[in-house]
Amino acid sequence: MTLKDKIYEGLKKVDDPEIKKNLVELNMIGDVAIEGRNVVVNVTLTTIGCPLKNTMSEDIKKELTKLEEIDHVEVVFGEMTDEQKQKLVQQLQGKKETKDPFKDTKVIAIGSGKGGVGKSTVTANLAVELSQMGYEVGLIDADILGHSIPQILGIKDKKPMVVNGGMMLPVDVNGVKVISMGNLVDKDEALIWRGPVLGGILTQFFNDVYWGDLDYMLIDLPPGTGDVPLSLMQQLPDAEILIVTTPQITAADVAKRLGFMASKTNSKVIGIIENMSYFICDNCDEKHYIFGKKEGRKLSEELNAPLLGEIPLSTLIREDGDKGVPSVLDDRLNMKDKYREIATNLLRTE
Ligand SMILES: Nc1ncnc2c1ncn2[C@@H]1O[C@H](COP(=O)(O)OP(=O)(O)OP(=O)(O)O)[C@@H](O)[C@H]1O
């Protein structure tokens, strides 16, 4: 094997941190110049402002200095031409079934009867915990008008990268690939959009975002049984529905409607999560059932779907949401164990 071949073999071990495919496969390697024991590698990026280019440079250097013939590696970055970007988009899109964007992915749409029950908080934490368990996880914030995922995951200031040709790369946070309207446009701008436009945006989130190979795609639905949940169940008939409710009778009652809607569109309700189930005060270890008791269990029996877990009401969870830290990563709480249990119960439903 020539030294150049060895260098290319090394470069095949370096992934683009966002696309998660190796630089050679992505045609991102330009000239490779060898002078004595020094090598200069030219890498063409989709955008020269790529925030992860230092990581890429370090990874290349680490890999190539493993070769005994090489002492020093220089990485020079350039930007792809429009034609190269177009080709890359085609290459990435080419791997995807257009009819079913999530052919080998388990799609779980998370809904609630009414707003404010903590659906987005639960979705974000479940996504991070599944990723911690080693799964490839995507998260679409389909609550386009009331998006809160960017706040909960601390990515309000992040923008998905748009590659020429209209393909977007999701924001990667805590191992989860996220797309939310909150990262794309101003909240007030989105408020003028109505049903059909919203449905169109979802379709774009499915088809025009490079998701790669995912094990799980979680979709945070807007509350209730409006246009978006309905259009989603029609567009992705294999998507399963997970319902988040609180122990309040009214919350569980309206959540039931979502269950009935799912049965009308032949979507399976995969389980129920009861949030804000109880409160443990600082002065005693007793559980206080502030919003009532057992409504989640009752809903699970009525919809014939398992109760996957109960999450307490906690000031720390609210604080985490305000700070943009998922509670599963907060050592002050035992939420990691709670969500691990929920995720394990979820996996059992398969
Ligand atoms: N278990 C909990 N304990 C304390 N606060 C919580 C809990 N779960 C969620 N919250 C808080 O409740 C508020 C609403 O949560 P979240 O945005 O997740 O609800 P939602 O059901 O998605 O609402 P909407 O559908 O209206 O966006 C947030 O401030 C969040 O931090």
DSSP string, 148-161: -HHHHTT-TT---E
What single letter denotes the amino acid at residue 111?
G
> Rounded to whole angstroms, how far apart are CA atoms 260 and 267?
10
Q: Which atom of ligand 1 is nearest to the CA of 146?
A: 27
Return the number of other C-beta atoms located less than 10 Å from residue 23's C-beta: 23
Query: What pLDDT, on the 0 to 100 scale, is given for residue 64?
Result: 93
Q: Which atom of ligand 1 is nearest to the CA of 321?
A: 31
Quote the mean pLDDT of the chain. Answer: 86
pLDDT computed for residue 187 by the predictor: 59
- Helices 295-303 and 249-264 cross at an angle (nearest 10°) of 20
Those residues whose C-beta lies under 8 Å from the C-beta of residue 146, and which sit 6 or more positions away, are 115, 222, 223
- Tokens representing residue 226 in the block: 């409006």
Q: Is 118 left (phi over 0), alpha (psi -120 to 50) or beta?
A: left
Distance 115 CA to ligand 1 centre (A): 8
In sequence order, what are the beta bridge partners of 281?
none
Q: Is residue 310 helix, strand or coil?
A: strand
Contact 92, 57 (CB under 8 A): no
326 backbone dihedrals φ, ψ, rounded to 5°: -65, 135
Buried b or exposed e, range 108-145, using 16+ CB within 10 angstroms: bbbbbbbeebbbbbbbbbbbbbbbbbebbbbbbbbbbe
Q: Which residues of the chain have pLDDT under 50?
A: 97
Helices (H), the chain: 3-11, 53-64, 82-94, 119-132, 149-152, 187-190, 195-207, 227-235, 249-264, 295-303, 315-323, 335-348
Q: In what order do the strands lie in the sheet with 29-35?
A: 29-35, 38-45, 72-79
Structure tokens given for 58: 């370090």
Contact 136, 159 (CB under 8 A): no
The torsion defined by the Cα of 246, 173, 176 and 63, in degrees rounded to 10, comes to: -160
Q: Which residue has the tokens 């939420």?
A: 335
pLDDT, position 295: 81
Ordered structural domains, the chain, with CATH: 3-80 (3.30.300.130), 106-348 (3.40.50.300)
Token pair listed for 18: 């966002």
Q: What is the helix, strand, coil percentage profile of the chain, to 5?
A: 40, 20, 40
Burial 211-240 (b: 16+ CB within 10 A, else e): bbebebbbbbbbbbbeebbebbbeebeebb
**What is the residue type of 58?**
E
DSSP state of 52: T
Residue 262 has phi, psi (to 5 degrees) of -60, -40
Ligand 1 atom nearest the C-alpha of 122 is 18
Q: Which of 147, 318, 334, 342 to mutate to test the pocket of ligand 1 (most atoms within 8 A of CB)?
A: 318
List all residues whose CB is within 6 A of at least one atom of ligand 1: 112, 115-121, 143, 146, 148, 223, 275-276, 311, 313-314, 317-318, 321
DSSP 145: S
For ligand 1, atom 12: residue with the closest CA: 118
Interface predicted TM-score (ipTM): 0.98
pLDDT number for residue 97: 47
Amino acid at 64: L
Annotated binding site for ATP: 113-120
Separation of CA 55 and ligand 1 centre (Å) = 35
Amino acid at 182: G
